[in-house]
Amino acid sequence: MSSVDFSSLFGSSQTQSTSLSSMLGDYASIKNGSYGKLLKAYYKKQESDATSEEAKEDTVKRTKLKSGASDLKSAAAALNDNSLFKEGEYEVTYSDGTKGTSKYDVNKIYDKAKTFVDAYNSAVKSGASFEDGSSVSKRTLSLIAYTSQNSALLSELGITTSTKDGEEGQLTIDEDKFKKASTGTMKSLLTGSGSYTSVVENKASLIASLAESQASKYSGYNAKGNYDAGSSLSSFFTSGV
């Protein structure tokens, strides 16, 4: 009498039992909502991955703007310094090497003004890179508009707004015209409460504060410099759901 191998029969039964158990487990997961939570966590992770680069770029832009606006604030404060306008008899050196005299140290004042112009241009360029209508864009336009309101007096100091394509709103400074300008106009425009530099300093401070607060608000980066994407599959499984 030949022997019968029952192993395949029991093996098949065991497989069916395992399959049934798995189906019941899946059904239980669907019924208690675990699958739904898993799917939500999964798709949230995909969305987070898609937006993390945008968030990073936005944070970089706002950090750059904060730095540029802070530099402008410092440059404006340095130019709005009465000690620069201590009267005396100073030698002036023009761009071609010729010399003259002035009752203010216009060589030193010009250096501060050049730093101011460079900082202004950097801040305006950074601010203009934001979407029109944004709070940062509005603050930047306010700064540009204020400079435009003072364009006539600034022009007397050789500081003018560029009209070149791509450089609208940027300032240029003519060294010789600045150094030969009326010292009275120079002092009234650059020093004192309510002066051009004083108002620019305040506007730059507001832009820097806004950029800093929004960079913190929009950034998902933690203290280690890593992006915290919020809910993810790993957080789902470690949450004990």
What's the farthest any 2 CA atoms get from each other in the chain?
Answer: 129
Coil, strand or helix at 135 = helix
Where along the chain do its domains lie?
47-81+107-218
Tell me which residues of the chain have a pLDDT lower than 70.
Answer: 1-51, 216-241
Q: Write down the pLDDT at residue 209.
A: 93
Distance CA 161, CA 146 (A): 12
Q: Write down the pLDDT at residue 219.
A: 53
**231 neighbors 41 (Cβ within 8 angstroms):** yes
Q: Write down the pLDDT at residue 112.
A: 98
Q: Where are the alpha helices (DSSP H) in the chain?
A: 7-32, 34-79, 106-128, 135-149, 151-156, 175-180, 183-190, 196-218, 233-238
pTM of the model: 0.70
Q: Write down the pLDDT at residue 61.
A: 87
Determine the residue type at 16. Answer: Q
Instruction: Sort strands 159-161 and 171-173 into parallel, antiparallel or unpaired.
Output: antiparallel
**87 neighbors 72 (Cβ within 8 angstroms):** no
Q: Write down the pLDDT at residue 53.
A: 75
Ordered DSSP codes for 170-239:
-EEE-HHHHHHS-HHHHHHHHSSTTSHHHHHHHHHHHHHHHHHHHHHHH--B-TTS-B--SS-HHHHHHT
